Amino acid sequence: MSINVVVQFNALPATREAFESIMRSVVKDLPGVVGCQGVQVLQNSEDTCRFTLVEAWDSKEIHQSHIDGLIADGTWAAIAEHLKDDPVSGYFQNV
């Protein structure tokens, strides 16, 4: 059974464009990661610093392994520099 990951980001106004560029890269590159079934990035139409990332994965464990890799290689730290606060995330399954 697949799992969906929903992550809400609040980018810093000064780095919103750079963060948006990162999100575009995620849409392009993440589906090539083993276990990722797809990804969608949404930008709030009223507050353009707010983004929602929706990912589909083969399993929670595969997703967590991917995140562990991003932390280990410094990618996550580079992303976090663009954020006003910590992202809010959760795992969801289809009903």
Domain 3-92 has CATH 3.30.70.100: yes
Q: String of b and e for 4-29 (b: at least 16 CB within 10 Å)? A: bbeeebbbeeebbeebbebbeebeee
Over residues 43-72, mean pLDDT: 97
Q: Is the pLDDT of residue 30 over 80?
A: yes
Q: What angle do CA 29, 58, 19 make, to 5 degrees?
A: 30
Q: Is the pLDDT of residue 31 over 80?
A: yes
Q: What is the pLDDT of residues 61-87, one digit of tens each?
A: 999 999 999 999 999 999 999 999 999
- Residue 1 is predicted with a pLDDT of 77
